[in-house]
Chain A
């Protein structure tokens, strides 16, 4: 029998442990969401994050040590963003027919996302790096991190704010839009994708495939617009 401390230091050094923990936590969270009949509050991303945070706290593992292992999963965000070209291509006909509504929704949604986040946080006393980190929160993670860095925010804080935005959008969208009796899946999906990026898109795909496709388009277009708008808005305000 090897010394358990030696065994632990081996595991803590290798990506294997935290990669396994990440996938296992996600599988458990997804099963749990299924068991809870996909209730909006039972968001698999949120539950997986809580599970892993508990494991890290109990094992006294710093986030950086965890991320070294889990970065293989994180890395796939880039190729997944590129892969969104396919749902976009598959919906080319619909995209052509709804080009103007998408442009209208994109401009209104992107401006609202950036301006209202900055306005509310500023009114509540948030200043400096934390405020700037908030501006690109509705854009997909790889984009938001780049924007945050460019405007003087703190990219790791932006990553967290982006994830929380996605979770919020995925939780809020379905009950709210159902209550408002909005039945246009194109409008619903597009708005969720632009406001809540990949997590909103993942949620939209589970609710309705048309909504999912339009969410993917909304997310891709908002990523480009946020990259252009956020530095402009920040430049005007500060």
Chain B
């Protein structure tokens, strides 16, 4: 498990160094994700070895958002001023984005014949 966590951190670190070193617009952890994905394709055994650790971490993904979410208490001033407008923008925009995504997915799947699941 420690080996797997070390690997995750190593990929994140590599991503951060590449992102900051080259001034890339893509954040470090996302570059780390892409690099680890490429490594799994090259070394399939590694994916099996890391499965338990990664699925343990991902099954508690919600928890990791709690500390930043509590930050809402530090921004009550902004929300008092713009709260209704920001809430309306968030709710309507998120709903529209889900609808646009679902419809575009289904439409493109129909057009390209990529319907049905395995």
Main secondary structure of the interface of A (DSSP, over half): helix
**Cβ B102 vs Cβ A182 within 8 A:** yes
Check A190–B101 contact: CB distance below 8 A: yes
Inter-chain contacts of A120 with B (CB < 8 A): 85, 88-89, 92-93
Q: Mark A95-128, 1 if CB is under 8 A from B, else 0.
A: 0011011111111111111001110110011100
**Would you list which residues of chain A between 183 and 238 have a CB under 8 Å from chain B?**
184-188, 190-192, 194-196, 198-199, 201-202, 205, 210, 216, 218, 220, 223-224, 227-228, 231
Contacts of A94 in B (CB 8 A): 117-118
A119 to B30, CA, bound (A): 27
Measured in the bound complex, the distance between the Cα atoms of B61 and A227 in whole Å is: 21
Interface residues on B, range: 35 or more
Contact across chains for A80 and B66 when beta carbons are under 8 A apart? no
Closest B-chain residue to A105, C-beta based? Answer: B105
Interface residue count for A (Cβ, 8 Å)? 118
User: Interface residues of B: mostly helix, strand, loop or mixed?
Assistant: helix
Q: Which residue of A79, A88, A192 is within 8 Å of B37 (Cβ)?
A: A88
- Please provide the chain A residues from 127 to 147 with a CB less than 8 Å away from any CB of chain B in the complex: 130, 134, 137-138, 141-143, 146-147
Q: Decide if B62 is an interface residue (CB 8 Å cutoff).
A: yes
User: How far is the CB of B85 from the nearest CB of chain A, in Å?
Assistant: 4
Inter-subunit contact A117/B32 (CB<8 Å): no
Q: List 25 A-B contacts (CB under 8 A).
A: A49-B66, A52-B70, A66-B67, A67-B71, A77-B29, A78-B29, A78-B32, A81-B12, A82-B12, A82-B32, A101-B104, A101-B105, A101-B106, A108-B100, A118-B89, A162-B68, A163-B65, A165-B90, A177-B98, A187-B105, A190-B101, A190-B105, A191-B105, A205-B61, A227-B25
A107-B104, A142-B28 known; 14 other A-B pairs, CB under 8 Å?
A22-B67, A63-B74, A66-B67, A83-B50, A85-B34, A98-B114, A101-B112, A113-B97, A116-B93, A141-B65, A141-B68, A150-B25, A165-B94, A205-B58
